[in-house]
Amino acid sequence: MTGRHLLYLPEQPNAIYEGLGFSIRGGSEHGVGIYVSLVEPGSSAEREGLRFGDQIVTVNDMMFNDVTHTDAVKVGFYAYLTGMEYVILHFHIHHLHSPMLTVIRRIIMQHAV
Domain locations in the chain as residue ranges? 16-112
What CATH number labels 16-112? Answer: 2.30.42.10
The verdict on pTM exceeding 0.75 is no
* CA atoms of 5 and 90, how far apart (whole Å): 9
CB within 8 A of 57, min separation 6: which ones?
Answer: 63, 64, 65, 90, 91, 92, 102
**What tens digit of pLDDT does each residue of 39-90 get?**
889 887 888 888 888 888 888 778 888 999 998 888 776 666 666 666 677 7
